[in-house]
Amino acid sequence: MFELKNKKIAFFGAVGYLATPIIWKMAESGADLLLADFNLDRAVKIAQEMSDKYPEQKFEAVYVDGGDYASIDACFKKIKDTFGKLDVMVSGISAANNMTVEEFTPETMNKTFAVHLTGSFLLARNAADLMPDGGSIVIFSSMYGQVAPDPSVYHAPMKPNPIDYGIAKAGLNQMIRYLAVHWGPKNIRVNGVSPGPFPNPANYTGSMDFIERLEQKVPMGRVGKQHEMAGAVIYLASDESSFTNGHIINVDGGWTAW
């Protein structure tokens, strides 16, 4: 079940906190992977570790900046040269500015949109071009693409999750639906995953009160664990989701249910 053997997968934003357990699960499931990330050193290290553990599979690392469209083109040239085609593309690229509503300028707002929206669109369109026999595109959204952050969770000097992030994620939700309809006749499925609260403990040392406030917002009474995004993404990448299209899977412990 959830077999990925011999599938050619490109994962953008591959070595972040939530992405790392997913790419390892994909490797364990038999996939060949291209790991694209802004942090090229970490991507190269993980690709080598995967090659050592799974020598019969192919793993490559490449640099990408979601706001640098030439780097996106270079990635897809690498994908074509390495794999010839794609079965799955996952977009986990992200950007935001730690600003309040009053602090934003047009330039900072547009920079976020250039990465999240235009960058993700270009990733999806390039991926579809390499899926002549169909495939699966998975785009990371967020709970904050559906609901606003509760200001009471963020105590000063902490700022609420910024508005540019939420607007961009809401835009991705519509992009997912639009492209699912557009490419459905070509058997290219486009779906999303929407993480809830998955705070990276390394970023909140000494801030357990913040984590506790997040937990109080979740029906399950806890925040997500790092590995808990993997199942939804693996499902959408596999043939078991062959009739799942235009859907956004919430992995949020019920955050958006109330």
R_g of the chain, CA atoms, integer Å: 18
pLDDT at 220: 98
pLDDT at 207: 75
pLDDT at 2: 82
pLDDT at 204: 82
DSSP string, 26-72: HHHTT-EEEEEES-HHHHHHHHHHHHHH-TTS-EEEEE--TT-HHHH
H or E segment and range at residue 198? none
pLDDT at 203: 85
Q: How far apart are CA 245 and CA 177, in angstroms?
A: 8
Contact 90, 9 (CB under 8 A): yes
Decide: helix, strand or coil at residue 180.
helix
114, amino acid identity: A
**Tens-digit pLDDT profile for the chain (258 aa)?**
688 999 999 999 999 999 999 999 999 999 999 999 999 999 999 999 999 999 999 999 999 999 999 999 999 999 999 999 999 999 999 988 999 999 999 999 999 999 999 999 999 999 999 999 999 999 999 999 999 999 999 998 899 999 999 999 999 999 999 999 999 999 999 999 999 999 998 888 777 899 999 999 999 999 999 999 999 999 999 999 999 999 999 999 999 999
Close Cβ partners of 74 (under 8 Å, ≥ 6 residues apart): 62
- The model's pTM: 0.97
CATH fold of 8-253: Rossmann fold (3.40.50)
Q: How far apart are CA 85 and CA 136, in angstroms?
A: 12
